[in-house]
Structure 1
Amino acid sequence: MQDPGPRSRRPAGETRVLMLAAAVERVKEEGLQLDYANIELEDLIRAAGVPRSTVFRIWPDRAAFVVDLVRALFEADPGFDTGFDGETMQLIERALAESPDAANTAAGRQAALREVLRVAVAHNMASVEGTVAWRVYRTISAALSSGDGTQGGEDIRAQLAEIVGRYLDRMAEVYRGLNAAFGLRMRAGLTEQDLAVAVMAMVDGMGDHRRINPGMIDAPRTVALGEEDAGDWHLAGIAVAGIYSAFTEIGDSSSD
């Protein structure tokens, strides 16, 4: 690797980029510790090869740096910001394409929707746990709820709320699209955003139990949720199907 030159010559913008890149790489390798103990500015300054004085002009303390790092970590993993990961979206599109005849009746649309949820949720539960963004989200959530008065907690909370808000907006768009495809509408008093929040809260809780006892959560359940034959479901898929059914109803334009 070519020597970029004396540290003192680095402009503030380049220093910011290099510091955040070094921190993101560390989190990818080690994870983010609950007390952010592995995010020490002095260590990162050495790893990034940047001038110490510039770093402390940009971030007066570690708490200020962590606020910017939170955004950088999620930007490095855009799947969290855009909703379902790319492979899950492909599974949804494939399930939609494979059931065109089912769209002729309300019952058929309901069965097709359940198949989409059965396939997509199982895949997404398996894929999301391995992403940096999801692991960081869980760690920061735990730190903020620990009651230990995390340094810079309010700024970090605001940053995380903004990022999660974008994620929920994107998921609301996905649910809007599914509702349109299957002739559904939200029940009076509820919105697609409410649906997104409910599903995310369920996934959060199930993810917590999954880390304690993965077999209890991941073991397939063979069940029929409608008139169609029984199929193998992930427990989260059954829960999402139940939430979806409770939050939506058949639209006026849907025929039997």
Structure 2
Amino acid sequence: MTGETPGSGLARRRRRLSDDETARRMLAAAATRVEAAGLTVSLEHISFEEIIRDAGVARSAAYRRWPYKDLFFGDLLRELARGAVPAITDPNPGAVGAAARTLLASLGWARTPGLRRALAGEVLRESALGEFEVFHRSSAWRTYLALQATFRGLPDGALRAEVQRSFAESEGSLVAGVATAYARMAGVIGLRPRAGVTYETVARAAVATLRGLVLMAPANQEITDRRFRANPFGAPEPAEWSEPALAIASVVLGLVEADPDVEWTDERERSVAAMLRSGRWAAG
């Protein structure tokens, strides 16, 4: 007597997936490969056959959904662009704590309006280097930059317009997050944007600087390694700086000034110190 036993024959046959489920699995498998290896300025290094294998879908189902490989790559670009900006802008508890400790250590500087930019410089001296190193090591960020390069080569049409809209939304979210962080820091210290400048302008300039440094770093190791003592913002004493921190701090602090409406009293200093110790300053 013959028959099927559990785990064999018909019981092992692959359930036929819908076109939507096939698409979901294929795009997820391709995005995983891109996140692991990064993206070149084209998608030619992505093997359609390997994606089919990684996704665990039937070859016939994949080719039914995408008769031509270019159609799949078009959908993959849309998928990547929708979540284009790497998720590295969320508050990092370690970085937030370090910034609070830096502010607390020199909070008395804020009593002198001329030293408030120097106090912000101390925070950026520490945090900007950390941001650069995260971006520099991140395959997700390299993918984002390469995706932008790929986008520039797209012909005019529906795909280019859709990817452009996704980029605009992603860039807007990135800038908004950075602008919020700068606004919070400035509010604590007693700074404001210069006339005609918004924190969004400051954030865009800082992100552009950081992006340029990340692009230059592979060919110029000094950007990552070099340290030097300097006092670029009039602090009481020189300190050790890195090139990324100096570049980003110069951009940010060149666009802000001491807020003349802020009166730094003993009561304000106690209130700010308590807020920094509690972590509330980073939450809004």
Q: In the alignment, which of 94, 101, 105 is matched to residue 112 of structure 2?
A: 105
1:130 Cα offset (Å): 1.6
Structure 2 counterpart of 1:20: 27
- The question of 1:245 aligning with 2:253 is answered yes
1:197 Cα offset (Å): 0.7
Q: Larger Cα Rg: Structure 1 or Structure 2?
A: 2
Q: In the alignment, which of 118, 125, 138 is matched to residue 132 of structure 2?
A: 125
Could you give the per-residue CA deviations for residues 69-90 of structure 1, whole angstroms, max 9, x where no partner exists?
Answer: 333565xx5224x3x6554333
The 1:54–1:103 alpha-carbon spacing in structure 2 relative to 1, beyond 3 Å, is farther
The 1:158–1:55 alpha-carbon spacing in structure 2 relative to 1, beyond 3 Å, is farther
Q: In the alignment, which of 229, 240, 243 is matched to residue 237 of structure 2?
A: 229
SS class of match (1:185): strand
More divergent stretch after superposition (54-63 vs 28-37): 54-63
Matches within 5 A, 1:50-69: 50-52=57-59, 55=62, 60-69=71-80
The 1:113–1:12 alpha-carbon spacing in structure 2 relative to 1, beyond 3 Å, is same
- The question of 1:198 aligning with 2:205 is answered yes
SS class of match (2:137): coil
Structure 2 counterpart of 1:144: 151
- The question of 1:114 aligning with 2:114 is answered no
Tell me the matched-pair count: 250
Structure 2 counterpart of 1:166: 173
Structure 1 counterpart of 2:82: 71
The 1:69–1:87 alpha-carbon spacing in structure 2 relative to 1, beyond 3 Å, is same
TM-score when normalising by structure 2: 0.75
Assess if the C-alpha contact under 8 Å between 1:7 and 1:49 holds in 2.
no
TM-score when normalising by structure 1: 0.83
The 1:73–1:57 alpha-carbon spacing in structure 2 relative to 1, beyond 3 Å, is farther
SS class of match (2:254): helix
Separation in structure 2 between the aligned mates of residue 247 and residue 104 of structure 1, nearest angstrom: 20
The 1:50–1:14 alpha-carbon spacing in structure 2 relative to 1, beyond 3 Å, is same
SS class of match (1:228): coil
1:93 Cα offset (Å): 2.8
Structure 2 counterpart of 1:208: 215
Separation in structure 1 between the aligned mates of residue 156 and residue 244 of structure 2, nearest angstrom: 32
- The gaps in structure 1 that reach 5 residues or longer are none
- The question of 1:135 aligning with 2:142 is answered yes
The 1:71–1:54 alpha-carbon spacing in structure 2 relative to 1, beyond 3 Å, is farther
Assess if the C-alpha contact under 8 Å between 1:8 and 1:51 holds in 2.
no
Assess if the C-alpha contact under 8 Å between 1:20 and 1:69 holds in 2.
no
% of aligned pairs identical? 26
Separation in structure 2 between the aligned mates of residue 105 and residue 62 of structure 1, nearest angstrom: 57
One-letter amino acid of the structure 1 residue matched with residue 145 of structure 2: R
The 1:11–1:100 alpha-carbon spacing in structure 2 relative to 1, beyond 3 Å, is farther
More divergent stretch after superposition (237-246 vs 188-197): 237-246
Q: CA RMSD in A?
A: 3.0
1:198 Cα offset (Å): 0.6
Separation in structure 2 between the aligned mates of residue 56 and residue 164 of structure 1, nearest angstrom: 34
1:64 Cα offset (Å): 1.8
